[in-house]
C-alpha cells in the first residue's frame, strides 16, 4: 500500500479511528508532554479563542479550554467521527469547547475568529499542506499565534524505530515512503516546515527541537507493560500496516521480535521510549 493512501478519511472513520479510541488513554499519555510543551509555546490567555486542528479524542482541546476559561472558546476539529465522539463523551459539561467532525484544510471556518491556531500531532496529514495552512490562516485574527508539535524523523522516534527495526528479515521489506507524503513524519524536515508556513503567509516562524522519554503501553507488572506495548504497536501505527495481510506465522515471529526490542527499554509499569518532535510557532501578520 502506498504511504499516501494510508491516512484517508474513510480509514479514520473506520478501523484506524476505532483502534485509536480503544487505545485513547494510553496514546494520550504518550503524547501528553509534547502537547503541554506546545500549549506553553502558544501561551493561551483567558478569554482567547483557539482552533485545535486534528484534536483526536480532545485531550489537547480540554487542556486549552482550561487555560482560556469560561470567557474563551476552543473549537476542536478532526476528520474522525469515532474520535470526535469520544471527545464529546470525555468533555465535562460547561467546558468552553466545541468538537466538530471536519477537515480543517477545507471546511468552512469563521473568518478572522481565532487568536491561536494549535495542533498536537494533527497537521502532518494534509495532501497539500501549504494550501491547508493558507486556508486555516484565514480563520485567524490579525496578529494571531500559531503553535503546533509534529514528529521529527522516524529514526529518532522509538515508537516506530524499535518495532520496524525488529521485523527486518521477518517481514518482506517495502519501498520507503515518500518523505513528503501525508503521514506522521511528513513535517520532519524543519526546512520544509518553514517553507510551507512562509508560503501560506505566516511570519516569525520558529522551530525548536523537543525530546522526551515517554510511556508506551501500561500494565501492573513489567511483563504486562511490555505485552501491552507490543499489542498496541501491532494495532496502531506503521507496524500494523506492515503486518496487514501477513500469515499468522509471520505475525507471531514479528510479535516476538518486537517484544524483545521493547524488553530492552527501561520502565516498570510502562515501557519508556525516546521520542523527538518539533515545537513550531509562527504568527499571522498584523495586517
pLDDT digit string (tens) for the chain, length 287 residues:
233 345 565 566 666 778 878 888 889 999 999 999 999 999 999 999 999 999 999 999 999 999 999 999 999 999 999 999 999 999 999 999 999 999 999 999 999 999 999 999 999 999 999 999 999 999 999 999 999 999 999 999 999 999 999 999 999 887 777 888 999 999 999 999 999 999 999 999 999 999 999 999 899 999 999 999 999 998 887 888 889 889 999 999 999 999 999 999 999 999 999 999 999 999 999 97
Per-residue cell: 148: 503546533
Tens digit of pLDDT for each residue in 123-181? 999 999 999 999 999 999 999 999 999 999 999 999 999 999 999 999 988 777 788 89
Identify whether the C-beta of residue 39 lies closer than 8 Å to the C-beta of residue 149: no
The dihedral region occupied by 155, where left means phi > 0, alpha psi between -120 and 50, and beta the remainder, is: alpha
Q: Which neighbouring-strand residues pair with 100? A: 77
Distance CA 145, CA 118 (A): 8
Distance CA 273, CA 275 (A): 7
Q: Single out the residue of 252, 279, 254 nearest to residue 119, CA to CA.
A: 279
- Torsion sign (Cα): 88, 103, 151, 193: negative
Amino acid at each position: 500500500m502506498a504511504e499516501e493512501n494510508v491516512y484517508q478519511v474513510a480509514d479514520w472513520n473506520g478501523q484506524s479511528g476505532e483502534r485509536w479510541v480503544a487505545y485513547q488513554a494510553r496514546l494520550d499519555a504518550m503524547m501528553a508532554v509534547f502537547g503541554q510543551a506546545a500549549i506553553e509555546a502558544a501561551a493561551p490567555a483567558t478569554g482567547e479563542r483557539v482552533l485545535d486542528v486534528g484534536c483526536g479524542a480532545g485531550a489537547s482541546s480540554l487542556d486549552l479550554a482550561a487555560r482560556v476559561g469560561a470567557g474563551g472558546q476552543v473549537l476542536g476539529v478532526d476528520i474522525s467521527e469515532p474520535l470526535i465522539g469520544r471527545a464529546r463523551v470525555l468533555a465535562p459539561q460547561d467546558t468552553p469547547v466545541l468538537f466538530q467532525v471536519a477537515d480543517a484544510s477545507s471546511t468552512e471556518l469563521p473568518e478572522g475568529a481565532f487568536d491561536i491556531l494549535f495542533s498536537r500531532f494533527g497537521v502532518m496529514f494534509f495532501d497539500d499542506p501549504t494550501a491547508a495552512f493558507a486556508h486555516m490562516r484565514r480563520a485567524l485574527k490579525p496578529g494571531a499565534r500559531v503553535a503546533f508539535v509534529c514528529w521529527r524523523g522516524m529514526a529518532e522516534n522509538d515508537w516506530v524505530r524499535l518495532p520496524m527495526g525488529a521485523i527486518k528479515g521477518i517481514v518482506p521489506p517495502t519501498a520507503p515512503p515518500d518523505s513528503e507524503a501525508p503521514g506522521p513524519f511528513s513535517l520532519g524536515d524543519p526546512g520544509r516546515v518553514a517553507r510551507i508556513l512562509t508560503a501560506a503567509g505566516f511570519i516569525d516562524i520558529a522551530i525548536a527541537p523537543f525530546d522526551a522519554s515517554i510511556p508506551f503501553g501500561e500494565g501492573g507488572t513489567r511483563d504486562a507493560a511490555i505485552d501491552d506495548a507490543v499489542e498496541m504497536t501491532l494495532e496502531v501505527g506503521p507496524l500494523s500496516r506492515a503486518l496487514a495481510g501477513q500469515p499468522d506465522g509471520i505475525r507471531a515471529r514479528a510479535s516476538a521480535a518486537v517484544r524483545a526490542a521493547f524488553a530492552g527499554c527501561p520502565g516498570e509499569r510502562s515501557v519508556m521510549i525516546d521520542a523527538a518532535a518539533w515545537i513550531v510557532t509562527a504568527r499571522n501578520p498584523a495586517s
